[in-house]
Amino acid sequence: MSPWLEAVVRAVAVLAAFLSLPLLIGQTEHKVMAHMQGRLGPMYAGGFHGWAQLVADGVKFVQKEDILPARADRGVFRLAPAVALIPYLVALSVIPLSPTVVGATVDASVVLVLAVIGVGIIGTLMAGWASANKYSLLGGMRAAAQLVSYELPMVLAVASVALAAGTLSLVGIAEAWSPWWLLWQAPGAFVFLVAALAELQRPPFDMPVADSEIVFGPYTEYSGLRFAFFLLAEYAGIVVMSLLFAVLFLGGWAGPFEAWLGWLWTLLKGFAVAVLMIWMRVSWPRMREDQLQRLAWVWLVPIALLQLALTAVGVVMTS
Amino acid sequence: MTTRDIVFAAVGAITALSALLSVTTKHVVHSALWLLVSLGSLAGCYLVLGQELVGLVQLLVYVGAIVVLVLFALMLTRAPIGPHAEIDTPAWQRVVGALLGAATTVLLAALLLPLFSGVTVELDGGAPGGTPAIAQAVFGTWVWPFELLSVLLLVALIGAFAVSRLVLRSEDETVTARGEVRR
């Protein structure tokens, strides 16, 4: 296969995953949440258990009027959804499902994923400021404060895994994984999961979009397709974080018949993590802003630092 | 001219242009956003030069953290949408700023151009060294300057904490003093 053709095939495959996996997670959220709350969830769209509900939602979003607030900063307002969405596409393209099933091979892929996730935050801030709406601005400020706080423990937790594996490549980290990492890296895994939820602004960390206080935070003024892009970014974020958790802390493709079924194991582990994230949304009430900051600085950062020290001791002892 | 030369020239031009725009635009938040483009495309420059890790860390630290902080600080102010006469700089400040910028550019160019004018690096066979080489350099050859810098940052952090705590405490004391006076 010529390199250009291969590049096109890989790009199309990543794009297909980027457009289908978030919908799968969204549908799972509808159904899991509903059953946890003693409801049935969507049942009509598409016939079988409402499988086409999100497709119908997408069609609805496309038909809606595209509203641009009169006082908004037009250029920034229009650009914000793209800035929020595209980084997750880049992140998804370097996350491996197995050593061979990966969009693009990058040496320092784990740094790349963290870096582009950090860029995605800018989209939320741009939306919050450019809408010329006080609720949006408040939401944007909350988002910025939250994301700056939680980025540090997340990077530290990932650094611990990279240190344990001795490489910055996601493929290398998953290959170096062994089952006793489940115990050794458990504090780091906990920190990563909590920080990932906070970065995604999912409940119980949804202070920036708290609907009972500030309507929908930075996304208040958005409608139609642009709003759908923000929603897609949130679910794509869940996909990226779940797969990242599976690759970093659960060994990715490690499992029976991993030579043939490796990609399936990674997907299944990631799906389990995504269901866990949905479960947390259903279980816990929203945290207040000060509780949220306290959790990050008083608990997560020290735990991540301790994990880093623990990993360093382990690496020195075994090498 | 290889493809790498062309891409480098393009990314470098974007970096310089967005840097210029970030200091000349009249919109405060646009200025921060152009700074973001400039820092991001600087990361692109590093990538084109084969230093993947440096480019990614540039993206992680400057775009992901520093610009977010700048935007957050701007949100705490009354950063308006559109140009605003109240926060505009007077003409003499702009002239002085342009002069200082030009002087710094000339100084840096006079220093760096003779140093690196004849140096060539072979990039087509992969980056020289890559991540392990950078790790060796930072934690081997340059470990003392590196540690010194981290201590400097730590001192600044502790200083900031101390200042905020001291201000809080003195305010508390004045409050209790007033209460005692009232009693």
CB contact B40 to A (< 8 Å): yes
CA distances from A78 to A55, A127, A134 (A): 24, 9, 18
- Reported as a single tens digit per residue, the pLDDT across B56-111 is 888 888 888 888 888 888 877 776 676 777 777 788 888 998 899 999 999 999 99
B100 interfaces chain A, CB cutoff of 8 Å: no
Mean pLDDT of A304-311: 91
pLDDT tens-digit profile of B12-40?
999 999 998 888 887 888 888 899 899 98
The residue range of the domain holding A270 is 3-318
- Judged against a pLDDT cut of 70, whether residue B125 lies above it is answered with no
pLDDT at B179: 46
pLDDT at A239 over 80: yes
Task: Write out the two tokens for A237.
Answer: 């974020």
Torsion of CA A70, A72, A78, A79, to 10 degrees: 170
Q: pTM for the whole thing? A: 0.84
> Mind telling me how many Å the CA of B59 is from chain A's nearest CA?
6
Distance CA A123, CA A139 (A): 13
- Looking only at Cα atoms, what is the longest distance across chain B? 84
CA within 13 Å, CB half, B101? 10
pLDDT value, residue B23: 85
**Residue in A with minimal Cα distance to B132:** A167
| Nearest neighbour of A111 by CB, restricted to B57, B76, B81 | B57
Decide if B47 touches A, using CB distance below 8 A: no
pLDDT at residue B13 in the model: 92
On the question of pLDDT at B151 being above 90, the answer is: yes
Q: Which residue has the higher pLDDT, A108 or A276?
A: A276
- Chain A positions touching B40 (Cβ under 8 A) are 119
Instruction: Give the distance from CA A75 to its chain's centroid.
Output: 26
**Would the CB atoms of B60 and A107 count as touching at under 8 Å?**
no
- The single-letter DSSP state of residue B88 is P
Two tokens at A177?
């994984």
Q: Is B59 on the interface with A (CB under 8 A)?
A: yes
CB contact under 8 A, A151 and B40: no
pLDDT of A280 above 80:
yes
Contact state of B53 with A106 under an 8 Å Cβ cutoff: no
Does B180 have pLDDT greater than 50?
no
Number of domains in chain A: 1
In a 10 Å sphere around its CB, with 0-12 CB exposed, 13-18 middle and 19+ buried, how is residue A57 labelled?
middle
Instruction: Please report, to the nearest 10 degrees, the dihedral formed by the alpha carbons of residues A161, A164, A167, A170 taken in order.
Output: -40
pLDDT at B128 over 80: no
Tell me, what's the pLDDT at B168?
Answer: 62
Q: What's the CATH code, domain B1-81? A: 1.20.120.1200
Residue from the list B30, B75, B131 with its beta carbon closest to the beta carbon of A137 = B75
With CA atoms as reference, the chain A residue closest to B27 would be A73
Element (H, E) at B64: none
Length of chain A: 319
Task: Name the residue type at position A100.
Answer: T
Written in H, E and C, the secondary structure of chain A is CCHHHHHHHHHHHHHHHHHHHHHHHHHHHHHHHHHHCCCCCCCCCCCHHHCCHHHHHHHHHHHCCCCCCCCCCHHHHHHHHHHHHHHHHHHHHHCCCCCCCCCCCCCCHHHHHHHHHHHHHHHHHHHHHHCCCHHHHHHHHHHHHHHHHHHHHHHHHHHHHHHHHCCCCHHHHHHHCCCCHHHHCHHHHHHHHHHHHHHCCCCCCCHHHCHHHHCCHHHCCCCHHHHHHHHHHHHHHHHHHHHHHHHHHCCCCCCCCHHHHHHHHHHHHHHHHHHHHHHHHHHCCCCCHHHHHHHHHHHHHHHHHHHHHHHHHHHHHHC
Q: Is the pLDDT of residue B146 over 60?
A: yes
**What percent of chain A clears pLDDT 90, i.e. is strictly above it?**
12
Cα dihedral sign for A89, A286, A154, B164? Answer: positive
Which residues touch A270 (CB under 8 Å, ≥6 apart)?
A239, A242, A243, A245, A246
B64 contacts chain A (CB < 8 A): yes
Q: pLDDT tens digits, residue range A138-195? A: 888 888 888 888 888 999 999 999 888 888 888 888 888 888 888 888 899 999 999 9
> Residues of B with CB below 8 A from A151's CB?
64-65
Q: Are A118 and A196 in contact (CB under 8 A)?
A: no
Closest residue in B to A168 (Cα–Cα)? B131
| Interchain CB contact of B134 with A (< 8 Å) | no
- Set of chain B residues whose Cβ sits within 8 Å of the Cβ of A137: 75
Residue A80 has pLDDT above 80, yes or no: yes
Tokens for A119? Answer: 């860029």
Residue of A88, A119, A167 for testing the chain B interface, max B β-carbons within 10 Å: A119
Does B63 sit within 8 Å of A118, measured CB to CB? yes
| Residue B183 scores a pLDDT above 50 | no
